């Protein structure tokens, strides 16, 4: 067999003495640093945020579900370096990209971070390197956006360096499936890129790899997974509204339906979508589909239904206050329980709790919140008016004289029995009170 310019990288992977750089040390990048490090590689963590770098150098975790001890071990290992110096990327054999892919204010893909990262890598690209994009994005990003930027300096993908896409399928806070227990889907710009990327991911993941034809297919796999979730969540949200009118408990229906051993998979209703993925990713496909003059009606409809959920919750709360306490929302004191977008995480991005707080305050309600994982609200461009609000201590929350509690996130550590006992009314959007037996007449599912 002819020698390949990538044989040295293959050999370094076999010996585990390759250097892996991870760009973007957030919810996705940091677990990937740990997985690469645990496999025996030298790891360089690169981020533009100097605060994250300082915390890593000091051996501290800044993500709740990533243990302090794991980061302390990483920092003390002698095989990890955190840096804001882009020149370090030139030392890496493999470069993994985990930067944000949000939407612009016009709800179009915001490719600034991916583009900026490609330009950074291009300045330090050298023959023999493997570059893998992990950020969720529309089909064509790796080939049509990344590749021209990386090749601008004269090196050619497939012969000088390798380029692949492997979507991150991380589910933060999921104790059953961590990074290395989820198979990696891999598509490359050419077979050599795909095969070397598979070799690398096989070496860090116990769950193995799934090779697909090309990068676009791998990009489409990730979008398909998230669109599937978005559409199914919209479906149960719609069913919730219908069954509610009929006096049927959607939660009981789902519990019974999921006993069918085939052909059904449970999804749960809620106060609206949240997080960095499900509310955003489907619109990456919608945007790209326009270029092909194809309408993505399922995606749009699911978006419409899910976006309407916070307003539904506010209407339900207002109606309940009206019926049970003969009062309106104006001047009512509401305790929101949970600000994070899902249970047991410290992530507030796109959380429906922010929308709910704004809607309630627009109606004149006075809103406090309690969330053990969100001590202070730090928002970005959206809901900036809520930035700086602080979580009420649990004892103060229970004794605060609120007219109603509104459960938005079903964190496991909360004593829902105590909440129901302490407040005159609890409106529950997550069925978090399912095990509460006393005072059930004070609970309304919304
Ligand atoms: N969070 C999730 O649950 C999840 C799951 C699967 C996939 N994803 C996808 O993974 C990607 C990253 O998401 P995340 O949740 O980890 O985001 P994050 O905001 O937690 O982390 C991104 C990091 O990238 C850094 N960064 C931004 N621009 C940079 C640049 N040019 N150079 C270096 N660093 C830069 C930021 O400072 C930040 O630390 C997104 O595409 C997201 O859709 C996220």
Assess contact for 133 and 57: CB atoms under 8 A. Answer: no
For 188-200, the pLDDT digits (tens) are 999 999 999 999 9
Exposed, middle or buried: residue 321 (CB in 10 Å: 0-12, 13-18, 19+)?
buried
pLDDT of residue 170: 85
Query: Is 277 one of the catalytic residues?
Result: yes
pLDDT of residue 275: 86
Mean pLDDT along residues 166-175: 88
pLDDT of residue 379: 84
Cα 297 to ligand 1 centre (Å): 28
* Residue 93 predicted with pLDDT over 70: yes
* Residue 78 predicted with pLDDT over 80: yes
How many angstroms separate the Cα of 59 from the Cα of each of 37, 53, 84? 14, 10, 16
| pTM, 2 dp | 0.94
Assess contact for 322 and 244: CB atoms under 8 A. Answer: no
Q: Is 344 in the pocket of ligand 1 (CB under 6 A)?
A: no
Q: State both tokens at 168.
A: 């991150």
Count, residues in the chain:
446
pLDDT of residue 353: 97
* Residue 135 predicted with pLDDT over 80: yes
pLDDT top residue among 371 and 1: 371
Least confident of 133-147, 214-228, 267-281, 408-422: 267-281
* Whole-number average pLDDT of the chain: 96
Query: What angle, rounded to 10 degrees, do the helices at 215-246 and 282-291 form?
Result: 120
- pLDDT-derived band of residue 249, with 50, 70 and 90 as boundaries? very high
Q: State both tokens at 52.
A: 């994250």
Cα 100 to ligand 1 centre (Å): 4
Least confident of 1-5, 181-185, 228-232, 299-303: 1-5
Q: Is 141 in the pocket of ligand 1 (CB under 6 A)?
A: no
The alpha carbon of 265 is separated from its chain's Cα centroid by a whole number of angstroms, namely: 21
Assess contact for 184 and 36: CB atoms under 8 A. Answer: no
Give the residue range(s) of CATH 3.40.50.720 domains in the chain: 7-214, 238-445
Point out which residues pair with 211 in neighbouring strands: 186
* Residue 381 predicted with pLDDT over 90: no
Measure the CA–CA gap between 339 and 351, rounded to whole angstroms.
Answer: 7
Mean pLDDT along residues 94-100: 98
End-to-end CA distance of the chain: give it in Å, rounded. 65
Q: Is 279 in the pocket of ligand 1 (CB under 6 A)?
A: no
Measure the CA–CA gap between 277 and 132, rounded to whole angstroms.
Answer: 19
Cα 97 to ligand 1 centre (Å): 9
Question: With pLDDT > 70 as the criterion, what percentage of the chain qualifies?
Answer: 100
Q: CATH homologous superfamily of domain 7-214?
A: NAD(P)-binding Rossmann-like Domain (3.40.50.720)
pLDDT of residue 176: 86
Q: State both tokens at 366.
A: 């006075």
Cα-based torsion angle of the residue sequence 104, 108, 112, 114 in order, rounded to the nearest 10 degrees: 130
DSSP letter string, 362-429: HTT-EEEEE-TT-SB----STTGGGTT-BPPPHHHHHTS--SEEEE-S--TTS-HHHHHHHSS-EEES
Measure the CA–CA gap between 58 and 98, rounded to whole angstroms.
Answer: 22
* Residue 1 predicted with pLDDT over 90: no
Handedness of CA 92, 95, 100, 102 (dihedral sign): positive
Phi–psi pair at 106, nearest 5 degrees: -90, 10
Measure the CA–CA gap between 356 and 376, rounded to whole angstroms.
Answer: 17
Assess contact for 216 and 143: CB atoms under 8 A. Answer: yes
Mutate which of 64, 83, 98 to test ligand 1's pocket (most atoms within 8 Å of Cβ)?
Answer: 98
Q: Is 165 in the pocket of ligand 1 (CB under 6 A)?
A: no
Q: Is 136 in the pocket of ligand 1 (CB under 6 A)?
A: yes
- pLDDT-derived band of residue 178, with 50, 70 and 90 as boundaries? confident
**Residue of minimum CA distance from atom 20 in ligand 1:** 26
Please tell me the number of Cα atoms within 13 Å of 1 on its side-chain side. 4
Which residues neighbour 56 within 8 Å (Cβ) at sequence distance 6 or greater?
A: 25, 45, 71, 74, 75, 80, 82
Mean pLDDT along residues 319-326: 96
| 3-class DSSP state of 19 | strand
Strands 209-211 and 333-337: unpaired
Q: Is 306 in the pocket of ligand 1 (CB under 6 A)?
A: no
Cα 294 to ligand 1 centre (Å): 29
| 3-class DSSP state of 64 | coil
Assess contact for 98 and 166: CB atoms under 8 A. Answer: no
Measure the CA–CA gap between 278 and 170, rounded to whole angstroms.
Answer: 13
| 3-class DSSP state of 228 | helix
* Residue 359 predicted with pLDDT over 90: yes
Q: Is 236 in the pocket of ligand 1 (CB under 6 A)?
A: no
DSSP state of 136: -
Q: CATH homologous superfamily of domain 238-445?
A: NAD(P)-binding Rossmann-like Domain (3.40.50.720)
Q: Which of 277, 329, 336, 339 is catalytic?
A: 277
């Amino acid at each position: 067999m002819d020698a390949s310019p990538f044989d040295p990288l293959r050999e370094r992977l076999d010996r585990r003495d390759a250097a892996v750089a991870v760009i973007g040390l957030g919810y996705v990048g940091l677990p990937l640093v740990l997985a690469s490090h645990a496999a025996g590689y030298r790891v360089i963590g690169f981020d533009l945020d100097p605060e994250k770098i300082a915390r890593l150098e000091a051996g501290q975790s800044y993500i709740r579900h990533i243990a302090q001890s794991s980061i302390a071990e990483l920092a003390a290992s002698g095989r990890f370096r955190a840096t804001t110096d882009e020149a370090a990327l030139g030392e890496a054999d493999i470069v993994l990209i985990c930067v944000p892919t949000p939407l612009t204010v016009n709800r179009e893909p915001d490719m600034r971070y991916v583009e900026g990262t490609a330009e950074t890598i291009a300045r330090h690209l050298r023959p023999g390197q493997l570059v893998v994009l992990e950020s969720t994005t529309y089909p064509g990003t790796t080939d049509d956006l990344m590749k021209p930027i990386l090749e601008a300096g004269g090196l050619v993908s497939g012969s000088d360096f390798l380029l692949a896409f492997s979507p991150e399928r991380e589910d933060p806070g999921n104790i059953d499936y961590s990074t290395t227990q989820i198979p990696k889907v891999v598509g490359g710009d050419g077979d050599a890129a795909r095969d070397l990327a598979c070799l690398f991911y096989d070496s860090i993941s116990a769950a193995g790899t799934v090779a697909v034809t090309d990068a676009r297919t791998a990009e489409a796999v990730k979008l398909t997974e998230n669109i599937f979730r978005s559409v199914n969540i919209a479906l149960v949200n719609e069913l919730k509204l219908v069954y509610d009118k009929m006096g049927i408990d959607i939660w009981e229906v789902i519990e019974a339906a999921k006993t069918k051993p085939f052909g059904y998979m449970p999804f749960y209703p809620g106060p609206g979508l949240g997080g960095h993925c499900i509310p955003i990713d489907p619109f990456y496909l919608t945007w790209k589909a326009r270029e092909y003059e194809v309408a993505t009606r399922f995606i749009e409809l699911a978006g419409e239904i899910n976006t309407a959920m916070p307003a539904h919750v506010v209407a339900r709360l207002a109606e309940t206050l009206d019926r049970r306490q003969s009062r309106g929302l104006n001047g009512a004191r509401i305790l929101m329980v949970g600000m994070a977008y899902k249970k047991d995480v410290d992530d507030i991005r796109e959380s429906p709790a922010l929308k709910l707080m704004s809607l309630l305050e627009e109606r004149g309600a006075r809103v406090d919140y309690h969330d053990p994982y969100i001590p202070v609200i730090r928002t970005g461009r959206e809901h900036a008016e809520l930035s700086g609000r602080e979580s009420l201590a649990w004892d103060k929350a229970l004794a605060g004289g609120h007219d109603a509690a509104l459960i938005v996130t079903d964190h496991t550590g909360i004593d829902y029995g105590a909440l129901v006992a302490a407040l005159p009314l609890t409106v529950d959007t997550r069925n978090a009170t399912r095990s509460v037996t006393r005072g059930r007449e004070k609970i309304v599912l919304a």
